Amino acid sequence: MSALDLNESDASQFTTTREEFHLNMAVVFDIAFAIFAEKRFLLYEDYNMQTSPMNIIKLCQTFSSFTDPNLWKTEEKRYQAYGVSCMRRFLTFGCFRNYELGMQAIKDIFMASCAIGSRLFAVVLDDLRNLFETTEELDLRWAVEAVLDDAIIWCTKMTAACQ
């Protein structure tokens, strides 16, 4: 069983209080990111021929409107901007094969989901998935399959443990 396959009863073993949950998540993160590093970046390699530094730069420019500070008037927009920023870092570092920094960006997404509430962040990630699937600048199926789908499932399952 992987850390990403936890069901709600499994997730509850990591915590009895919200504080313990945050302390113990470090262990879960280490397991989850080992799985990501081993399995998910293999998927990235499959799509790598379609991904170039120039396409990543164009994509980041496309995303820049989502991280514009003028849009940070509501909490939801701030969370979305943070999520987009993390995904931009993941894409950029992944493109240049700096997987350590790429995984740190994903770790930031999971940490944010715990800090602001998994249910809300799952909605933000779902919005990102929709954005990725409709971006014409380059094929982002690998990013959705490698990261966002599992991140959304993880956030949804961990909501019960956070409460």
Q: Domain spans of the chain? A: 9-162
Report for 33-37, 90-94, 125-129: range of highest mean pLDDT: 125-129
pLDDT at residue 66, rounded to an integer = 55
Q: What is the pLDDT of residues 74-87, one digit of tens each?
A: 766 666 666 666 66
Cα–Cα distance list, 61 to 103, 112, 125 (Å)? 22, 23, 19
Residue 73 confidence class, pLDDT cut points 50, 70, 90: confident
pLDDT at residue 38, rounded to an integer = 46
Q: What is the pLDDT of residues 26-45, one digit of tens each?
A: 444 444 444 444 444 444 44
Q: What is the pLDDT of residues 54-71, one digit of tens each?
A: 555 555 555 555 556 666
Q: Which long-range contacts (CB under 8 A, 24 or more apart) does 34-42 make?
A: 35/2, 35/3, 35/4, 36/103, 36/106, 36/146, 36/147, 36/150, 37/99, 37/103, 40/146, 40/147, 40/150, 41/94, 41/99, 41/102, 41/146
